[in-house]
């Protein structure tokens, strides 16, 4: 039989969440010497805080949403400041998977400093692209970086008119 999914009521029996710091602490003693009041969870390799409750593992930002709203986030939660360990409630927002993906860090190989703007060696021009519905939309090639950036920013505004789901 599968372990039931965590509810807000059960969560509040087990842990306390401080929305201003994003820290979860145990309300009850746990096995392996964990005492009531100890900080809950551990950080994974990607920097996300992971919590274990009733033999199931959860990402802390999703559990924070459950704690504060009473509902599991669908489909995802975005860290506004892009810091996966900053689980302050003011730093979390509901987002679609695509919106969450738009808020990721700039790729380390990017030379323009702007997402979706790259130097095209073949044409010796700046190229602007944007992703839409899982496909790359080519916005054009430009003589100047500034023009490519304007094209990209305009496309972002057009493609994300309904941008984030604000609470």
CATH number at residue 41: 3.90.75.20
In this predicted structure, the answer to whether residue 5 has a pLDDT above a threshold of 70 is yes
Residue bearing the bigger pLDDT, 13 or 103: 13
* Same domain for 87 and 124: no
pLDDT exceeds 50 at position 166: no
Scored b (16 or more CB within 10 A) or e, 116-142 reads bbbeeeeeebbbbbbeeeeeeeebebb
Question: What does the pLDDT look like over 114-149, one tens digit per residue?
Answer: 888 999 999 999 999 988 777 888 999 999 999 999
18 in any annotated domain: yes
- Cis (ω within 30 of 0) for the bond into 153? no
Instruction: Average the pLDDT over 51-68 and give the result.
Output: 96
**Is residue 123 included in any domain, yes or no?**
yes
Residue 134: what pLDDT?
73
For the chain, the farthest-separated pair of C-alpha atoms sits apart, in whole angstroms, at 64
Of 24-38, 66-80, 121-135, 152-166, give the lowest mean pLDDT range: 152-166
Structural domain contains residue 141 = yes
In the block, which residue shows the tokens 């009531």?
Answer: 36
Residue 7 has pLDDT above 50, yes or no: yes
Q: Are residues 134 and 87 in the same domain?
A: no
Q: Domain for residue 1, yes or no?
A: no
**Shortest CA distance to 24 belongs to which of 71, 61, 70, 75?**
61
Instruction: Tell me if 147 is assigned to some domain.
Output: yes
Mean of the pLDDT values across residues 79-84? 90
Is 60 in the same domain as 110?
A: no
User: What percent of the chain is predicted at pLDDT more than 70?
Assistant: 89
State the pLDDT confidence band at 52, using cuts at 50, 70 and 90.
Answer: very high
Give pLDDT, residue 2. 55
Residue 164 domain-assigned? no
In this predicted structure, the answer to whether residue 1 has a pLDDT above a threshold of 50 is: no
Query: Residue 44 sits in which domain range?
Result: 8-99
Q: How many residues does the chain have?
A: 167
Same domain, 62 and 132: no
The CA distance from 164 to 64, in Å, is 18
Domain count for the chain = 2
Q: How confident is the model at residue 160 (pLDDT cuts 50, 70, 90)?
A: low
pLDDT of 156 > 90? The answer is no
CATH number of 135's domain: 3.30.730
| Tens-place pLDDT, residues 85-99 | 999 999 999 987 777
Same domain, 86 and 136: no
Is 91 found in the same domain as 17?
Answer: yes
Residue 42 lies in a domain: yes
């Amino acid at each position: 039989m599968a372990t039931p999914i965590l509810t807000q009521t059960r969560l509040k029996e087990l842990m306390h969440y401080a929305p201003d710091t994003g820290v979860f602490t145990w309300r009850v003693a746990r096995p392996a010497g964990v005492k009531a009041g100890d900080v809950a969870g551990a950080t994974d390799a990607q920097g996300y805080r992971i919590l274990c409750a009733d033999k199931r593992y959860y990402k802390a930002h999703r559990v924070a949403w459950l704690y504060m709203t009473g509902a599991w986030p669908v489909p995802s939660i975005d860290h506004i400041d892009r810091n996966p360990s900053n689980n302050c409630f003011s730093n979390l927002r509901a987002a679609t998977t695509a919106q969450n993906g738009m808020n990721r860090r700039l790729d380390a190989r990017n030379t323009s400093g702007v997402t979706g703007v790259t130097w095209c060696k073949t044409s010796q021009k700046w190229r602007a692209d944007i992703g839409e519905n899982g496909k790359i939309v080519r916005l054009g090639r430009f003589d100047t970086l500034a023009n490519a950036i304007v094209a990209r920013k305009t496309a972002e505004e057009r493609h994300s008119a309904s941008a984030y789901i604000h609470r």
